[in-house]
Structures are given as C-alpha cells and as structure tokens.
Structure 1
Amino acid sequence: MKKKIAIIVVVFWMIVIFCLSHQPANASNELSKWIAHILAQNVDLVTSREDFNLTSFNSLIRNYAHFLLYFVLGIIVVTTLKKMGVTGVKGILLSLLICVVFAITDEWHQLYVPGRGTELKDVLTDSAGAITGITVTVGIAWLVRNIRVASVK
C-alpha cells in the first residue's frame, strides 16, 4: 500500500508541474508577479527599496520556482524508488533519469502552450533542482543510517 501511495504522490507532483507549465505565458507571468509582490512586501528586511527591482525579482522567482518544483520531484522520486527496492547508485541514476526526462518533456510540451516556449536554461535549472533534491535525500539517509550504526557500537 505504501508503494502505491508513493507512486500516486510522484504522479500528483508531475501533474502539478504539468498544470503550471500548461498555463499560457500571461497567466504564468501573473502568478509569478503575484508571488513576487507578496514576497516583496518584506523586501525591507534584506535591501533598501531604492535597490529593489520588481521585474528582476519576478524573474528570480520564476527561476527558483523551476528549481524548487524539481527539488521536490527529486526527493519524492528517489524516496519512491527506495520504497520499491531500487536503491544505491541504480536508484540515484534512475531517479535522475526520470526527473531529467520529465523536465525535457515538460519543456517540449510548452511549445504547444500560447506564448510559451522551450528553454535549455529551464531544463538545466530543473535538473539542478532534481539533483539537489536527490542528493539531499540520499545524504540525509546516509547520515541517519551511520548515526544509528555509530550509536549501536
């Protein structure tokens, strides 16, 4: 049952990414502008208002969104594969393959969305997010396993 739920979570997250990518350019930009505006309300905490550029900040938010969405995807894919018994280097490489192929197909899908296009930069950002998510998950699992072993000795 846990394996099925894990697979459902992966598919759900891929659907979330697909739906965000399926938004026409103007709707996608409005969503990121809204998020940028909300975050910018706290800009005084990190910079002065004179230095702040909402357009640049919006672009940064869009890049972080790519990274974050695939960071989460990397985590849940590698965790799901582990639940299915695919671990070690094989689990890491298969997780990476799944995430990168999904990033490529997601960018390709955007060719058919009004005002959107395909950018290699986005695939690279998505892939970096997935690699980071996979690495963090595997690293934490390794630490936990070795701390347990050390505490037993």
Structure 2
Amino acid sequence: MKYNKRKRLFLVLAIIWMIMIFGFSSRNGDLSGEDSGRVGRLVGEWFVPGFDEWSEVKQNAFVDKVDFPVRKTAHATEYAVLGTLIFGATYEIQRKKRYIVGIPWLCGTIYAATDEIHQLFVPGRSGQVRDVLIDSCGAFIGVMLVTWMISRREKKESTK
C-alpha cells in the first residue's frame, strides 16, 4: 500500500512539474529573455568579484554573454528534475535496470519534444532540436543520479 502511495505522489509531482515547464514555455520571447537576464545578473552578483562596481554597460555585456549557458542549464536542470519525478512514479524494485532507466528517460524526452513543438506557437519563441537533446540529457542525468543513489543505499543496507 505504501508503495502505491509513493508512486501516486511522484506521478502528481511529475504532472505539476510538467505544468510548470509548460507555463515557462508559454511565456513569449521577451518575457523569457527577461527571466534569463535576471538569472544572468544574479550569476554576476554571486560569482564575479566586483560585479556591482562595473558599469551598467559592462554588466549588461556580461549578462548577454552568459545568457546562452544560463538558458541551456535551465533546460537541463528542469528536465533532470522531471526525469527524477517520473522515475519515482515508475520505479519498481524487481524491474530490469534498462526499464528502470529507459521508461522515465523516454517519457522526459517525449515531453521535451512536445514542449519544443508547443514553443513554435509562442510569439518570439522557437522549437529547437538542440533543446530537445539538452532536455533529454537532463532527464537522463536525473534518472541516473537517482538510480545511483538507490544502488548506494542498497549496498549500504546489504553490508549491515
């Protein structure tokens, strides 16, 4: 009974996360650019010594320079979370490893592809095959991370 509750909880969380991804993807190009610009500015403030003393022009140039990595890191991260949540919704202890990894990764990849198609209809946005690949890698990393954590826990428990 406890096992089914866990799977249902992860399924609900995965659906909520997918809705959040859809919401971010629905923002037009200008709003999306503002979002990544704010994150780029935070990166500068947190990690670049003296960033606050730079001129506005130099700060904006930095924000423009880190825009691409910020956006792609966001893609990979949001899909790593999605892959982890789908893993939790589909994980069965007795299932073969390839299914444990493959099903959540495939679901995350399919969702990434549909999300990029959705962006074709959002003003100022575009659907990119590259983003599907980045999202797919993010989902895979999330799934592999949680698989690694479970195997570590199982090894630790078996040595007790």
Which digits, 9 at most, give the CA deviation of each residue in 1:83-131, with x for residues without a partner? 6976632121111110000000000000100011111110111011111
| Structure 2 unaligned spans of 5+ | none
Residues 105-116 of structure 1 correspond to what in structure 2 (within 5 A)? 105-116=114-125
The residue identity in structure 1 corresponding to 2:62 is N
Q: If the length of structure 2 is used for normalisation, what is the TM-score?
A: 0.84
Corresponding pairs, count:
150
TM-score (ref. length: structure 1)? 0.88
Identity %: 25
User: C-alpha deviations, 1:16-58, integer Å up to 9, x for none?
Assistant: 11110111000100011011112211233499x68x7221212
Matching residue within 65, 75, 87 for 1:78:
87
Question: Structure 1 counterpart of 2:25, which letter?
Answer: S
Structure 1 stretches of 4+ with a deviation exceeding 4 A read 83-87
Q: Given the alignment, which residue of 59, 66, 73 partners 1:64?
A: 73
Aligned-residue offset at 1:10? 0.5
Q: Does the CA contact (< 8 Å) of 1:78 and 1:95 recur in 2?
A: yes
Letter matched to residue 130 of structure 1: A
1:36/1:58 contact within 8 Å kept: yes
Residues 46 and 127 from structure 1, CA distance in 2 versus in 1: closer, same or farther, beyond 3 angstroms? farther
Computed over aligned residues only, the root mean square deviation of the Cα atoms, in angstroms, reads 2.3
